[in-house]
Amino acid sequence: MIKAVGTDIAKNSRFDNLNEGVLRKIFTQSELDEAGRRSDASAFFSSRFAAKEAFVKALGKGFKAIKANMIEIRENEDGMPYIVTLSDVLNRDERVFLSISHEEEYSVAMVVIDGKE
């Protein structure tokens, strides 16, 4: 059963010149490392931020319940993104589905939380 949905859109250029201190407040070390290996770091950061925003919107608690750098966006071997939390904000029976898309200067993400009522 679908319990919640969250969505967010972020402008890629917003992440062009952020200093390392700000980036560390938003992203995990693994995400920072991955961005460093990519030619599209701003789009990468933008998409991950949109995913984190969509997730906390679906939780209904915003970043008061969990810090952005306690949420990590990973990809499986097929490139499908998924969310890992370094916190206990989800119940054991809840599953999270994530979709990320990029178009020119924007990244958008949608999160669905599924579980028992």
Please enumerate, by residue number, every residue annotated as part of a binding site for Mg(2+): 8, 53
Q: Smallest Cα–Cα separation from 74: which of 105, 107, 48, 109?
A: 48
* C-alpha span between 45 and 20 (Å, rounded): 12
Strands of 47-103, DSSP E: 71-75, 81-85, 95-103
Q: 82: exposed, middle or buried (C-beta count within 10 Å: 0-12, 13-18, 19+)? A: middle
Give binding residues as ranges: 8, 53
